[in-house]
Amino acid sequence: MRLPVISGLKAVKAFCRIGYEVDVQEGSHMILRHSEPPHRRLSVPNHKELAKGTLRTLIRDAGLTVQEFADLL
């Protein structure tokens, strides 16, 4: 499956659907944390369009497949 072209804000909304919460905003990045173990943290750039490699890394770090992530959108 191909990666969707989305903004950082849309990615944050998708990650929030699986339990991530915005912890803090540092400059142009939003730091998300998951309250349940393992306590994963994601640093999502607040850009209009995320680079494909960045999005793929965020999806992998969240423990999702591309298809699972696309279903959250």
Print the SS3 string covering the chain: CCCCCCCHHHHHHHHHCCCEEEEEEECCEEEEEECCCCCCEEEEECCCCCCHHHHHHHHHHCCCCHHHHHHHC
Among all chains, which residue has been given the structure tokens 């959250």?
Answer: 72
Question: Does the domain made of 8-72 have the CATH classification 3.20.20.70?
Answer: no
pTM: 0.89
> Tokens standing for 23?
């912890």
pLDDT by residue (tens digit) across 24-55? 888 899 999 987 777 789 999 999 999 999 99
Mean pLDDT confidence for 16-20:
93
